[in-house]
Amino acid sequence: DAGVTQSPTHLIKTRGQQVTLRCSPKSGHDTVSWYQQALGQGPQFIFQYYEEEERQRGNFPDRFSGHQFPNYSSELNVNALWLGDSALYLCASSFGVGMNTEAFFGQGTRLTVV
């Protein structure tokens, strides 16, 4: 049973460019959440997708957008990249949006903006 898979594992982009990160949830899961983890810090919630809609959003600008597909996989898009967007981007999947649900995390995508 495959867990949460993210691609690519590493990415280098130039300031001002756009990037798309991908996430496939664990089998049986229908909810995907994205987190940004800057070096030396804890993960920060970006947004959550359920039933192909953004259900919750953290304190991130509109440059951060996402999408969920009918097969529950998800994409995170970041436009007009800043140097400060360099971070580990983690995807977490779960079943439903209730509180009593365990989130499983992928290994993340390490984004470096130069």
Candidate list 19, 81, 103, 111; residue touching another protein; CB under 8 A:
103
Q: Report yes or no: 103 and 43 within 8 Å, Cβ to Cβ.
A: no
Residue with tokens 């259900």: 55
Tell me the three state secondary structure of residue 79.
coil
Contact status: 42 vs another protein (CB under 8 A):
yes
Q: Report yes or no: 113 and 13 within 8 Å, Cβ to Cβ.
A: yes
Give the residue among 101, 84, 91, 81 at the shortest CA–CA distance from 14: 81
Least distance from another protein to the Cβ atom of residue 63, Å: 19
Candidate list 13, 22, 67, 110; residue touching another protein; CB under 8 A:
110
Q: How far is CA 22 from the centre of its chain?
A: 7
Stretch of residues binding another protein (CB under 8 A), selected from 15-23, 42-50, 66-74, 78-86:
42-50
Contact status: 17 vs another protein (CB under 8 A):
no
Structure tokens at 103: 């989130």
Contact status: 97 vs another protein (CB under 8 A):
yes
**Judged by CB, which is closer to another protein: 14, or 37?**
37
Structure tokens at 102: 């365990």
Give the binding site for another protein (CB under 8 A).
33, 35, 40-45, 48, 56, 58, 88, 90, 92, 97, 99-100, 102-108, 110
